[in-house]
Amino acid sequence: MAPVPRASTTVSCLSPGTLKAVFFLFASICAWYSGYLLAELIPEVSLSSAAYSIRNIGERPVLKAPAPKRQKCDHWTPCPSDTYAYRLLSGGGRDKYAKICFEDELLIGEKTGNVGRGINIAIVNYMTGKVTATQYFDMFEGDNSGQMINFIQSAPSKSLLFMVTHDDGASRLKEDAKKVIEGLGSKHIRNIQFRSSWVFLTAKGLQLPEEIQRESINHSDSARNRYSGWPAEVQIEGCIPKKTS
């Protein structure tokens, strides 16, 4: 009699329910193992780079606008190449210093250390565009009106003159000095008051175009003053044609 294989006897002894359970267990182990293998096989690098590119997608909408080009004397739009750029700023209170900028060069200001209380003046040679003299005249203390007249009158023909106040440009400004400045085309110097902010552009021996900004003034008014005791600063800016037509 041929021996009956034990295994088949065993299998045949198992009920269909038990067989199903064993098969399910085996399938589960297979599924777990294949998942485990797959995880081991996928390289770490590709996972982290996938995560990186997902982050990149998130960042991409940030579009960088090119930084706007800075113009001469901080103008918004550049002056034509056949003109000189200028910007005049009066002082604001005691601590914000007056500035005179010409062709992007600071002629008078805190950085150049030549700004002071009173009326600040820069003289530029119109033909070369080079600064020839700068000076400030204290108008609160001392008697500097006469010196200022001499300085203004020393400017040769074909000069540009830039004037800005800092702190106070009026207290000791005398009548004859006002007349000289008025003679150069100022419409406001006669009305200047204690601590008024004032800026003025003029020329000797040449005609400036009518349309360019030449002068601005603001008076101290305790109800409106931006700084306590001083009005807001005033400024003018523009482009001066290099050759008058």
**Binding residues for ligand NAG, total number by CB under 6 A:** 7
Rounded to a whole number of angstroms, the minimum distance from the CB of residue 68 to ligand NAG is: 26
Rounded to a whole number of angstroms, the minimum distance from the CB of residue 230 to ligand NAG is: 8
Residue closest to 218 by CA, chosen among 207, 210, 209, 227: 227
With contact defined as beta carbons under 8 Å apart, do 145 and 125 qualify? no
Give whichever of 152 and 170 is closer to ligand NAG, judged by the CB atom: 170
145 binds ligand NAG (CB under 6 A): no
234 binds ligand NAG (CB under 6 A): yes
Rounded to a whole number of angstroms, the minimum distance from the CB of residue 216 to ligand NAG is: 7
- For ligand NAG, the binding residues in 184-223 under the rule CB under 6 A are 218
Give whichever of 114 and 225 is closer to ligand NAG, judged by the CB atom: 225
Q: Which two tokens stand for residue 62?
A: 């940030």
Residue closest to 92 by CA, chosen among 233, 215, 199, 219: 233
231 binds ligand NAG (CB under 6 A): yes
Stretches 34-42, 84-92, 106-114, 227-235: which one binds ligand NAG (CB under 6 A)?
227-235
Cα separation values, 146 from 19, 152, 177, 180, Å: 120, 10, 7, 11
- Residue 150, phi then psi, degrees to nearest 5: -60, -45
Residue closest to 92 by CA, chosen among 184, 230, 207, 193: 230
Stretches 105-113, 142-150, 199-207, 228-236: which one binds ligand NAG (CB under 6 A)?
228-236
225 binds ligand NAG (CB under 6 A): yes
With CB under 6 A as the contact rule, the residue among 112, 204, 232, 241 that binds ligand NAG is 232
With contact defined as beta carbons under 8 Å apart, do 109 and 185 qualify? no
Strand order in the sheet with 197-204: 131-137, 118-125, 159-166, 197-204, 215-218
Give whichever of 106 and 232 is closer to ligand NAG, judged by the CB atom: 232
Residues lying near ligand NAG in the complex (CB under 6 A) are found at: 218, 224-226, 231-232, 234
